[in-house]
Structure 1
């Protein structure tokens, strides 16, 4: 014998019918609902009962009250939020961070407000960062706007002792990303722990995000760890439920596929230029005068046309470039040296967010093997004279310093060479994009 449930109150049945019309029926985003008087007349009830039913839907976040105009179906255009996208490579966009880039690609107007504070952490943050009582954190607080509406907040907490006097402390967007800055400071994050909580917002969160009644939030708490398991960043993202779809992608493939190298085509001119500009900006921020001039696009275009420019991809995104040719620069190399059999490396650039993979070493090994395949004797390059760090880099990768030449109007001229075919094996093996994956 079936037992019937308790009869639903009239205001609940009013809400049920209107909800069905919104989710499966004729009422769409922005549509006006029947008035309180019209609902009361249809259900043969009082106006206060109609209002009670409408308030159920307001509290569920399905409709909004816009007095005296009436009640309207809330317009929703959710942002797709992908926590797993943080460690994936993406095209360079010096002016915009990942959020701004994603929204621009979707044709939406995006902006953000950033402020930086030094404060005592909450118990939640102190535990995630394993801080001692009294230790302070630097917090980068962001409110992100889409089409003029505050969509979410993103508050990144860092142990103050790790980031003091770094770019983290500036209330500006960091073009290459705070994670890259942390890596440059010696705290590269290789693992993240994601926690997602769903609850009603606090009064502060409701104020920052201009939330109406009945709007729950998802709180995404992400803790970033270094190779040795040290927590160095705790991020609290507050995502209103009516504005976000949280999407996770899972596959058997490991994140960060094997890098591949391919010959650049005409369509890659802008990519090479952006990689070059990215490196120049990073050097400028460190007070290094290398490459502080507009890139010579005519030369890059000529190298591409001659098949001398190459691009390294990871996850189908360009992350590095190298140019290899047979042309000795006679401002630096003697005629006798130019007559020797050699390949010359130019314009080698690696994005800073993959610097820890040592793709530079991998490209030099690739160029060395290419030189040997072409029966060359040497792999050569000329480095910036004032960049001592770069010269040390090449010395540690098997290059011998031949001499330093000062040519008029030229800032390069520290000459290096190593035998063709020599492989140091310090970086990952570069597979040609035309090769079949090894089974």
Structure 2
């Protein structure tokens, strides 16, 4: 049997109904709420209970009390806050320009108040800047105003030893921005670590931002690092929850822009096997009998050991493999053909989720370049005899069909070749990366 909970106190039910009317737009920004007396009459209760219900909404930041006029729905015009815009290039104009421009476009008036202090850092700042005990910081404290209301604080901390006697010490706008000044001092930032916390404000923060009761804040803490990994700047932004919308823009890099090819190492054996089995499973789903047997791991290991097996990575993740060697399979190629200056392609596999950008063409073009690098004139391969679609694929990419050999116990044998200097030119670029030991 279900057990019902206790009925909510009347003052909370009053708040619930008014909150719902604010949420659904029945009571819009700036609208006056019923008076305490009207609420008490409607709910057949006391005026003090009505006041309790209204105070719940005041504490939630939904309404304001403007005595003796009454209670009004709070007007909210949040600022869109974009942390990722900090490192974007901008004109050599005052450092508030981006903020001012955004507000001006929205028909709002923006300003700021700046103070500069030298002080002992808090533990949080000291830890993030990796300062020694007793080391001082310079802090540029800013309060930003919109339409006369303080909207957020922006306090930037720098090691005093880095910025002493620079423009960062002056409590004024910096025409080209404090980040540019820091770079001119030899401490340009190339990356930043962002941390976001949500909590209630401290009394000091509530005072600086003139916050009403019950207003939470988001804390955006950003630490900037130089190319050698040194932290040189920590910023603490306090963003009242009723005045901001925090917006992050994220874009996924094009897969083809992150590609690289490298020689496989012994630890890549499971990866090559997985790619083979992935391709074999897909072929089986298509009703194609190619590669429907366990991969010959000893051959793969030998190719890796000889530097003939290669891995293609996209954003650091393996998406394809190809093997190129000088081995002319005697089941297919004649003794005289084996003496030709040729490089042979084996075990070319592309993961299905990397399909659609003609990576296969890029791998074949790369193999041709590798053949030329090794002084070869031809690029050759043997294809599965029953996979007519694959054979058409090679024909479309400049290969000539030499002949088809029906070797006993072998399902491959459709032989193709093309000039090593041929390039189909339709796939992405495959830059080669080599282990440090080979440089």
Give TM-score scaled by structure 2 length.
0.57
SS at match of 1:125: helix
Q: Any stretches of 5+ residues in structure 2 without a counterpart?
A: 258-426, 430-439
Is the contact made by 2:94 and 2:177 (CA closer than 8 Å) also made in structure 1? no
Q: Which residue pairs with 1:74 in the alignment?
A: 74
Closer, same or farther: CA 95–128 of 1 in aligned 2, 3 Å: closer
Quote the offset at 1:438 in angstroms. 7.3
Q: Which residue pairs with 1:320 in the alignment?
A: none
Distance in 2 (alpha carbons) for counterparts of 1:208 and 1:21: 32
CA deviations on 1:274-300 (whole Å, 9 max, x unpaired) are xxxxxxxxxxxxxxxxxxxxxxxxxxx
Q: Which residue pairs with 1:171 in the alignment?
A: 171
Matches within 5 A, 1:341-380: none
Quote the offset at 1:87 in angstroms. 1.1
Matches within 5 A, 1:71-220: 71-94=71-94, 96-220=96-220
Q: Which residue pairs with 1:57 in the alignment?
A: 57
> May I ask how many residue pairs the two structures share in their alignment?
259
Q: Any stretches of 5+ residues in structure 1 without a counterpart?
A: 258-436
Quote the offset at 1:167 in angstroms. 0.5
Quote the offset at 1:54 in angstroms. 0.5
Closer, same or farther: CA 91–162 of 1 in aligned 2, 3 Å: closer
Is the contact made by 1:97 and 1:174 (CA closer than 8 Å) also made in structure 2? no
The structure having more radius of gyration, on CA atoms, is 2
Quote the offset at 1:243 in angstroms. 0.3
CA deviations on 1:222-255 (whole Å, 9 max, x unpaired) are 111111110000100000010000011111139x
Quote the offset at 1:101 in angstroms. 2.6
Q: Which residue pairs with 1:250 in the alignment?
A: 250
Quote the offset at 1:5 in angstroms. 2.8
Quote the offset at 1:14 in angstroms. 0.3
Quote the offset at 1:3 in angstroms. 3.4
Q: Which residue pairs with 2:25 in the alignment?
A: 25
Quote the offset at 1:95 in angstroms. 7.3
Distance in 1 (alpha carbons) for counterparts of 2:253 and 2:165: 39
Is the contact made by 1:97 and 1:173 (CA closer than 8 Å) also made in structure 2? no
Distance in 2 (alpha carbons) for counterparts of 1:179 and 1:61: 36
CA deviations on 1:377-433 (whole Å, 9 max, x unpaired) are xxxxxxxxxxxxxxxxxxxxxxxxxxxxxxxxxxxxxxxxxxxxxxxxxxxxxxxxx
Is the contact made by 1:97 and 1:177 (CA closer than 8 Å) also made in structure 2? no
Quote the offset at 1:97 in angstroms. 3.3
SS at match of 2:86: helix
Give TM-score scaled by structure 1 length.
0.57
Quote the offset at 1:96 in angstroms. 3.9
Is the contact made by 1:97 and 1:175 (CA closer than 8 Å) also made in structure 2? no
SS at match of 1:87: coil
